[in-house]
Amino acid sequence: YGRGDLEAASAVFVGMWGTGPDWSDLPQMARDRIVPQIHMIPAAAPVIEEDEIGLVARLGQITCPVDLIEGSDTPPIIPSIMAGLQARIPQARRHVIPGAGHMAPITHPAEVAVSLR
């Protein structure tokens, strides 16, 4: 993203966090929607990566059950993030969807539904 090639940045992002298809296999309409929005990823970094708003310290205040869903084929950082969330949220339950990536609710909706029942 920093080099200004928004399409290349979009392709990298989709390859890591998308639903599976290669960037070149996505319909043009989808690519046309992602490219102008790719700037939101680095713009959200202070909140998502640095916890600028102090959300992590407040996770223990959640009083309702929480389902944490991850795919077994997510990027390697996700299991660590999920473990940290589960440790901080009192009623958190973790579900791992076999064969799914980061977008399990989109790619494996039936399996996600079963895990939530």
Confidence at residue 19, expressed as pLDDT on a 0 to 100 scale = 82
Instruction: State how far the Cα of 33 lies from the Cα of 95, in Å rounded to an integer.
Output: 31
Instruction: State how far the Cα of 88 lies from the Cα of 61, in Å rounded to an integer.
Output: 9
Closest CA to 68 of 77, 79, 58, 76: 79
Confidence at residue 3, expressed as pLDDT on a 0 to 100 scale = 75
Confidence at residue 1, expressed as pLDDT on a 0 to 100 scale = 59
Q: What string of pLDDT tens digits covers the 117 residues of the chain?
A: 557 889 999 999 998 888 888 899 899 999 999 999 999 999 999 999 999 999 999 999 999 999 999 999 999 999 999 999 999 999 999 999 999 999 999 999 999 999 998
Chain-centroid distance, C-alpha 48 = 11
Using CA atoms, how far residue 114 sits from 6, 19, 106, in Å, is 38, 20, 14
- DSSP for 58-75, written as a single string: GGGG--S-EEEEEETTS-
